[in-house]
Amino acid sequence: MAKTPSEAPRPVNFDRIARPYRWLEYGTLGPLLQRTRVYFLPQMLDCRQALVLGDGDGRFVAELLRRNERVRVDAVDTSGAMLALLERRARSERVTTHRLQAMDYVPEAGTDLVATHFFLDCLTQAEVDALALRVAGGLVPGGLWVVSDFRIPAGVMRWPARFYVGMLYRVFGFLTGLHVRRLPDHVAALTAAGLTRIGLRRRLFGVLTSELWRADGNGVLQ
């Protein structure tokens, strides 16, 4: 049965949280999310063409540009307000913004870095599976994909983490109309797309994870 207009879900809109986004983040986990984003920056200093999906207000992009003086960045987001903040923070001609769905963007030739920081958790499993195949196909051999995200750890922290992540989903669902309520398995998606995880850093008892993946799957980063 088709939904009536009153029953249809609200369209997802991150514009309304763009300006307070940084402070909402600090109010929940302080600097931990930004530390998670930038953990693998030292491994990105030789990258030249980056695709950044859903960077929010642009703090990762700004730091990447500061640390890597030759990289060019394509930043993709559906939120015009978030992209405006990103451009203002980056202040660089090396950044090109694209307001569209991630699945609608075709990576530039020579893309050797993909960054998805707290973005894949806004997608369904089917969307993450499809995005991984599409974007990984545009990575050069040896190209990197860095992921920051929430995870549900095993052991004693499993149920507190499930409660906390569930609460975050409910809050962001109320503020933005986001309908996703469950973390997708990005590890399975990236593995199926032919990438190998070469770096891993967990924080907050495993609730936060920084991961570095490589397209050719050779070797392990120490």
Q: Could you give the CA distance from residue 95 to residue 73 in angstroms, rounded to a whole number?
A: 5
What are the pLDDT digits (tens) for 161-184? 999 899 988 988 888 888 999 999
What are the pLDDT digits (tens) for 26-61? 777 889 999 999 999 999 999 999 999 999 999 999
Domains of the chain: 15-214 (3.40.50.150)
Residue 37: both structure tokens together: 């984003």
Task: Output the tens digit of pLDDT for each of the chain's 222 residues.
Answer: 444 444 444 567 888 888 888 877 877 788 999 999 999 999 999 999 999 999 999 999 999 999 999 999 999 999 999 999 999 999 999 999 999 999 999 998 999 999 999 999 999 999 999 999 999 999 999 999 999 999 999 888 899 999 989 998 898 888 888 899 999 999 999 999 999 999 999 999 999 999 999 998 443 343
State the pairing for strand pair 49-53/196-203: unpaired
Q: Are the C-beta atoms of residues 89 and 61 closer than 8 Å to each other?
A: yes
Q: Report the mean per-residue pLDDT for the chain.
A: 90
Among 111, 88, 89, 119, residue whose Cα is nearest residue 12: 119
Instruction: Indicate the pTM of the whole model.
Output: 0.89
